[in-house]
Structure 1
Amino acid sequence: MTSSVKPSTGPTREEFSDRLLKGSVRKSYEPVVDIDWDAPLDPDKFFLPPKIVSLYGTSIWQEMSREQRIELSRQELVNTLSAGIWFENILNQALLRTMMHQDPTAKETHYALTELGDETRHMVMFGKAIERVGAKPVRPRLYQRMIINTLPLMFRGSALWVAALIGEEIFDSLQRQMMDDPELQPMVQRLMRIHVTEEARHIQFARDGARKRVAEMPRFNRFFVANINGLGGLFFRFLFSNPVPYRRTGLDAKAARRLARTSPHRHEVQVAGFAPLAAFLTEVGLMGPIARRLWKRTRFL
């Protein structure tokens, strides 16, 4: 963290943003019409691939019937989509606050507005998917909503782009691994394909923003951002072992969460999902010793 970071020699932020804008024109979706919401669900297919379900490979999983396993996959999908809605809400608020201080004619501003539009459509898509599978969203408690409403005030500069990457890239990596699984519901496959296509541009935008800013950051700011991101591991550990899906499936929530958090298979899944982001943060000098310890403690490294 004491070494200098070389400035980017690639395209400028404006050139990069212009390229992403053109990509958005060529390939964007309207989930309300691009997903067949009336198509019947297959009662024998999963809502998340079995190997991605948190209890896969544990003793509880071995005791569950196929119907129970499918139900747990349904509840865990709903949990993930619900978290996606709340995160997109945070990101959109942070982007809007940032744009208040930017040139409204700049390509970077225009792409940020394009991304904001994508994210609002994703929120609708996630909400419709939760409704379609016949479940209730997992809503944050009051104190969690209070925290959520304060986060956009903190996400500025490199902190915004790193937070965006933590919220987007782990999900993106996992979705790429599972969206072609033959046991997955066709509606969920389509949702993931749309999300992966548009999130690819969002991730590029955030990576470019972080890479360009880190070279100009004061040493203390860089140290802070490089270590505070380890809190993402605590968030994802809670999300991926949230007791709500276990209770809704009729399981002992405490026992299920304990097994999920200590499962060797789950550890492998989390490491694989975090690997691309871990490599990027290390490359740009934003994987500090405290963050690395937290990501390891929460079994993402």
Structure 2
Amino acid sequence: MTIAAEPLTRFDRVQDRQDTARRLLASSARKSYDPLIEVDWDAPIDHESFYGMTPEWCSLYGTEMWDQMTEAQRITLTEHEAASISATGIWFEIILMQMLIRDAYKQDPASPHFQFALTEIADECRHSTMFAKAAEHFGIPNYERPKWINFLSRPFKALASGSLAFGGTLAAEEILDMMQRDFMKDPRVQPVTRTVSKIHVLEEARHIRFAREETVRIAADMSPIRRHLTRLMLAITVYMVVFCLVNPKVYEAAGLDKKAAKKAARTNTYYNDRKRNGCAKTVSFLDECGLIGGPGKYLLRRGAII
């Protein structure tokens, strides 16, 4: 199913884009945060009373292995999974910044669209710094992505544009957003993690709005061939992001057998259902834009996204 929209003239599309950018620029002026000031990076860390993230979002929650873990192991695992998720966020936000810079390069500097693109780039720079400082705060090492992921993502970050760029951004950001909305409200979670999540959720709402409206505008004019290709590339992008969320090394940090933990996480119906339910709104939107379908559906099912 695709969104049925009345035909717009080129002038209407350009005007609509600029109006959206003006509203988002005004929102940025009213409510933006500096994480170096807003987050209490000197706060003491209580490793005994607080989880690193909402435990229900842990990849092993609901499994027999989780039931057998000590509370200390559960806390350690959630701290390391939160750091792994943040590392994935940094990775994709750096890719996003490159795509936004390419998009801005072609725009009129006097236009609101250009100016909001730069504003979003500045936001993403702060977010990546914030995620990095959070990992440093908890003393957790950087969880790198597999080499094959880095290899496959290079063409995407170098060439992605249009609906592929904005659709991929939307899917990746909303995956993080659905988790962090729980983190920020959960009193069981480390205070620093809650503050970091709150800042990211509040500012990312503007970015998601920007990506959604751009995706609708661009997808409406796509040729059939470009639409099929975009569907496949979007599915690959979303699959890679979901695949990278939990680095298997986090299990070793909690004193678990990595091979057994990977298997338990892969077959964890509870965790897969949470991912699927959290992604449902974005998947429905992309489907309405005609960007879900074809061979890409196999990858989305494999990643427990649909």
TM-score by length of structure 2 reads 0.92
2:135·2:141 contact (CA, 8 Å) conserved in 1?
yes
8 Å contact kept, 1:7–1:215? no
**Is 1:176 equivalent to 2:177 in the alignment?**
no
The one of 97, 102, 105 equivalent to 1:97 is 102
RMSD of equivalent CA atoms: 1.9
Superposed, 1:257-268 pairs within 5 Å as: 257-268=262-273
1:210-225 equivalences in 2 (<5 Å): 210-225=215-230
Q: Which runs of 5+ in 1 are unaligned?
A: none
How much has 1:59 moved relative to structure 2?
1.3
Number of the residue aligned with 1:12: 16
Alignment of 1:261-300 (within 5 A): 261-300=266-305
Q: Which residue of 2 aligns with 1:47?
A: 52
Match for residue 189 of structure 1 among 194, 200, 210 = 194
- Structure 2 unmatched runs, 5+: none
Per-residue CA deviation, residues 224-246 of structure 1 (Å, 9 max, x unaligned), is 11232221343144224421111
CA distance in 1, matches of 2:7, 2:282: 18
Measured in 2, the distance between the counterparts of 1:298 and 1:91 equals 21
Alpha-carbon distance in structure 1 between the residues aligned to 2:282 and 2:3: 20
Question: Residue type of the partner of 1:171?
Answer: L
Alignment of 1:67-216 (within 5 A): 67-140=72-145, 144-216=149-221
Q: Secondary structure at the match of 1:229?
A: helix
Question: Is the counterpart of residue 238 in structure 1 residue 243 in structure 2?
Answer: yes
Please state if 1:28 is matched with 2:20. Answer: no
SS in 1 for 2:185: coil
For the Cα contact (< 8 Å) 1:5–1:285, is it kept in 2? no
Q: Say if 1:84 and 1:123, in contact at 8 Å, map to a contact too.
A: yes
**Equivalent AA in structure 1 for residue 37 of structure 2:** V
How far apart are the structure 2 equivalents of 1:7 and 1:226? 23
User: Residues of 2 paired with 1:101 and 1:205: CA distance?
Assistant: 17
Contact 1:161 1:209 in 2 (8 A): yes
Q: Say if 1:173 and 1:276, in contact at 8 Å, map to a contact too.
A: no
> What is the aligned partner in structure 2 of residue 38 from structure 1?
42
Return the alpha-carbon distance in structure 2 between the equivalents of residues 103 and 290 of structure 1: 38
168-177 vs 19-28, which deviates more? 168-177
Q: Deviations over 1:67-123 (max 9, x none)?
A: 000000011011011111111111111111222212111111110000000000001
User: Normalization by structure 1: what TM-score?
Assistant: 0.94
CA distance in 2 between counterparts of 1:177 and 1:130 reads 19
Query: May I ask how many residue pairs the two structures share in their alignment?
Result: 300
Q: Distance in 2 between matches of 1:92 and 1:233?
A: 17
Name the CA distance, whole Å, in 2 between partners of 1:238 and 1:8: 38
* Alpha-carbon distance in 2 for matches of 1:199, 1:66: 33
User: What percent of counterpart residues are identical?
Assistant: 36
Structure 1: 4+ residue segments shifted above 6 A: 8-11
Instruction: List per-residue Cα deviations over 1:246-277 (Å, max 9, x = no partner).
Output: 12222111111111111111111111221111
Match of 2:71 in 1: 66
